[in-house]
């Protein structure tokens, strides 16, 4: 590096030398000296001639993620010099070659920088090509241009212009202007413009443009995605459709699979990305096999450890990934597969660029089988009789009872004290063939164990609410306070249930937040949980089952997990088994036990917000779980023991 000789004509791509070049160039070009003015003119001429010269010399991207595991928040710098990944270069070169002349199509894995590439191309044209009119369209106006929101395209362009040198961009409101209301960036010549649009049926109709970038085209609303293509065809000769896949339908999927188009399909795949393909491998007969050690490096050391490898396979199996498919994998890819909320449909679409991800179990067969095999306790059956005036109740053993109870009762014939959640899914209560169950789950959130289950197709919502309140008063904590109540508010049954609760003197129940979103968002005061996206409820519950935080001894509830499949968008879809007879008497099982279990888990995560003024409990994490945090003998408890052993072994090694 000490031998490096600076010249403004050549921009080094080595990150350290590139940083030195940028610093020296910026320092020299900002001087008020005739030689500096002349160098600026020469650099501008080089930038105008060569996109790659400009972008490696002056281009930046905004990156709020920590990409280096050794870095910390205190060293976070969101302004990152743009140096292209090798797989980006041929894609951009092809786009520049046909720019303004032909349509192009680009399918990508997530996190390949495609949106930033289009912004960089657009700003380069805006700076150095007088008369260039560049249009962007996104699925809605907030995604297209929302000032101050770096997730929007317009905000990215605004930020980039703000970090480029003034001697290159010019003075705002003299050489160019930004109209936030019109979503435009306009040069003073009046004919060089970048404009951002939402996807509508007549987007940009009647205008003219050099290029139209259609960002995340696969996620545009239907049928506007098709209508927008018709509307933009007369506007420009060059439309770039780029997106990750989002199902097998839609205009983007049609364009990508249209074999009559001469232009090739451009691809930005994670397995070509040098930051993501280290140790690239395939699974052959349940063993990792390197693809090319010379090119991608060897397998990670831990993949050679039979115990670690078996544990990884088990976790991937539990999430439902097909490990027999002959596909690329890497350590980075495996970590993405195991992140919270990840599932085979999401990974297939967002990373593997698979348009037609097949429908599969939302709760993987391997997970269901493991949970069934872990059941070692049998419940006691009985009935719970409610005293209607006081809304309290008492237990009575009965071999034909609708209730299943797992803990031992004390001398008062009551369950042990704990931090309990009572959760209910509500059906119409008509009974007979075709009726679904109303269910109740009681969860001890301190141990993560389900302690009571109830299911009946014939109980009315009003009576179900009385029963739930009585159970709350039977399951008390160490202060004698009742359990916390949550129910699904959707539908007529939810309304009847709510009315009964609100007419009682019981007040320890769930009030939903704005959009039932973040844990600490504002309460709406409306009673009951409102399901907007089924995955928002079932996703965290599935995660808890996979990692062992929810100990479910209820065989019927585990069997009902099989009734949920993934739609093409990854959302869980229930498939009713019309002829299946239920032990509780329902003519068809409708996954109701699963919903009440998931509600109990949701309430356990938000419990502290209601009981302790917003102090939420420590959320379990598979990487730091401790034995005291979870139920003894659970999957998470065994994981905690393993981590404890590894910490001890590491200390011995360090010593």
Higher-confidence position of 428 and 228: 228
Where residue 256 falls (left for φ over 0; alpha for ψ -120 to 50; beta otherwise) is: alpha
- Nearest CA among 99, 39, 79, 539 for reference residue 339: 539
Closest CA to 560 of 528, 590, 587, 537: 590
* Least confidently predicted of 1-15, 145-159, 380-394: 1-15
The strand ranges marked E within 312-379 are none
Give the strands of the sheet with 211-215, arranged side by side.
Answer: 176-179, 184-187, 193-198, 133-138, 211-215, 239-243, 104-108, 265-268
The DSSP letter of residue 577 is: B
Q: Which of 399-408, 528-537, 614-623 has the lowest mean pLDDT?
A: 614-623
Average pLDDT over residues 187-200: 94
Average pLDDT over all residues of the chain: 86
DSSP 275: T
Q: Which two tokens stand for residue 587?
A: 């003519």
For the stretch 165-174, contacts whose Cβ atoms lie closer than 8 Å and that sit 24 or more positions apart, written own/partner, are 165/26, 165/29, 165/30, 165/58, 167/29, 167/30, 167/40, 168/44, 168/47, 168/58, 168/127, 169/127
* 320 or 395, greater pLDDT: 395
223: preceding bond cis by omega (within 30 degrees): yes
Q: What is the pLDDT of residues 555-612, one digit of tens each?
A: 999 999 988 887 766 688 887 643 344 444 443 335 589 999 999 999 998 765 544 4
Q: Which tens digits make up the pLDDT trace of 58-82? A: 999 998 876 555 555 665 678 999 9
Rounded Cα distance, 627 and 405, in Å: 25
SS3 401: coil
pLDDT at 573: 85
**Domains in the chain, CATH or no CATH each:** 1-72 (no CATH), 84-268 (3.40.50.300), 285-358 (no CATH), 372-619 (3.30.420.240)
Find which of 18-22, 341-345, 349-353 is predicted with most confidence, using mean pLDDT: 18-22
DSSP helix/strand/coil, 211: strand
Each as own residue / partner, the long-range contacts of residues 143-146 (CB below 8 Å, 24 or more positions apart, any chain) are 143/198, 143/215, 143/216, 144/183, 144/196, 144/197, 144/198, 145/180, 145/183, 145/196
- For 25, residues 6+ apart whose C-beta sits below 8 A from its C-beta are 8, 43, 57
Give the pLDDT score at 633: 56
pLDDT of residue 72: 55
Burial degree of 467 (CB within 10 A; 0-12, 13-18, 19+): buried
0.95 exceeded by the pTM? no
Instruction: Decide if pLDDT at 30 tops 60.
Output: yes
What residues contact 408, with CB distance under 8 A and at least 6 apart?
A: 416
Per-residue pLDDT tens digits for 149-161: 999 999 999 999 9
The share of the chain scoring above pLDDT 90, in percent, equals 63
At 300, is the secondary structure helix, strand, or coil?
coil
CB 202 within 8 A of CB 227: yes
Number of CB atoms found within 10 A of residue 155's CB: 18
Burial class (CB in 10 A: 0-12, 13-18, 19+), 491: middle
Give the pLDDT mean for 279-291: 94
Q: State the Cα–Cα distance between residues 279 and 287, nearest whole angstrom.
A: 14
């Amino acid at each position: 590096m000490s031998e490096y000789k600076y010249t403004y004509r050549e921009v080094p791509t080595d990150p350290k030398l590139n940083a030195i070049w940028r610093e020296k160039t910026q320092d020299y070009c900002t001087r008020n000296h005739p030689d500096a003015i002349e160098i600026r003119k020469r650099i501008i001429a080089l930038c105008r001639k060569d996109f790659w010269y400009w972008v490696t010399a002056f281009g930046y991207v905004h990156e709020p993620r920590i990409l280096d595991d050794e870095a910390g928040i205190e060293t976070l710098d969101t302004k990152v010099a743009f140096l292209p990944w090798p797989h980006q270069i041929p894609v951009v070169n092809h786009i520049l070659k046909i720019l303004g002349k032909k349509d192009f199509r680009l399918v990508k894995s997530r996190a390949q920088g495609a949106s930033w590439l289009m912004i960089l191309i657009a700003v380069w044209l805006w700076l150095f090509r007088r008369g260039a009119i560049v249009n962007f369209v996104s699925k809605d106006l907030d995604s297209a241009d929302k000032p101050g929101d770096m997730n929007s395209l317009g905000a990215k362009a605004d930020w980039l212009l703000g970090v480029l040198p003034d001697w290159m961009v010019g003075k705002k409101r003299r050489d160019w202007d930004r109209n936030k209301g019109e979503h435009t960036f306009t040069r003073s010549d009046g004919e060089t413009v970048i404009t951002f649009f939402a996807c509508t049926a007549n987007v940009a109709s009647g205008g003219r443009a050099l290029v139209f970038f259609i960002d995340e085209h696969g996620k545009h609303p239907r049928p506007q995605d098709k209508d927008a293509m018709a509307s933009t065809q007369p506007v420009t000769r060059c439309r770039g459709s780029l997106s990750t896949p989002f199902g097998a339908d839609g205009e983007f999927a049609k364009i990508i699979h249209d074999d009559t188009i001469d232009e090739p399909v451009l691809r930005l795949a994670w397995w070509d990305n040098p930051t993501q393909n280290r140790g690239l491998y395939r699974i052959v007969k349940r063993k990792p096999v390197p693809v090319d050690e010379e090119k991608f490096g060897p397998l990670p050391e831990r993949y050679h450890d039979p115990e670690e490898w078996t544990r990884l396979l088990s976790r991937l199996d539990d999430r439902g990934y097909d490990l027999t498919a002959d596909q690329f994998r890497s350590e980075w890819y495996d970590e993405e597969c195991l992140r919270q909320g990840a599932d085979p449909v999401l990974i297939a679409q967002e990373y593997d660029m698979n348009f037609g991800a097949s429908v599969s179990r939302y709760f993987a067969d391997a997970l269901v089988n493991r949970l069934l095999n872990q059941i070692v306790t049998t419940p006691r059956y009985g009935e719970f009789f409610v005293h209607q005036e006081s809304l309290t109740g008492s237990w009575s053993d009965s071999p034909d009872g609708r209730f299943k109870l797992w803990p031992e009762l004390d001398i008062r014939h009551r369950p042990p004290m704990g931090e309990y959640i009572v959760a209910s899914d509500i059906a119409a209560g008509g009974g007979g063939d075709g009726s679904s169950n109303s269910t109740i789950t009681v969860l001890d959130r301190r141990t993560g164990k389900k302690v009571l289950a109830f299911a009946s197709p014939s109980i009315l919502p009003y009576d179900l609410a009385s029963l739930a309140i009585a159970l709350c008063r039977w399951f008390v904590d160490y202060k004698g306070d009742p359990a916390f109540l949550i129910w699904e508010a959707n539908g007529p049954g939810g309304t009847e249930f709510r009315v009964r609760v609100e007419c009682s003197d019981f007040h320890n129940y769930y009030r939903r937040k704005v959009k039932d979103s973040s844990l600490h968002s504002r309460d709406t005061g409306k009673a009951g949980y409102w399901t907007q996206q089924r995955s928002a409820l079932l996703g965290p519950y599935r995660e808890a089952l996979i990692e062992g935080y929810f100990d479910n001894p209820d065989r019927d509830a585990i069997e009902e997990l099989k009734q949920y499949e993934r739609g093409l968008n990854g959302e869980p879809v229930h498939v009713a088994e019309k002829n299946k007879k239920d032990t509780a008497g329902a003519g068809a099982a409708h996954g109701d036990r699963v919903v009440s279990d998931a509600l109990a888990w949701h309430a356990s995560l938000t419990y502290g917000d209601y009981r302790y003024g917003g102090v939420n409990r420590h959320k379990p994490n598979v990487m730091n779980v401790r034995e005291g945090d979870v139920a003894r003998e659970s999957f998470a408890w065994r994981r905690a023991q393993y981590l404890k052993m590894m910490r001890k072994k590491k200390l011995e090694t360090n010593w």
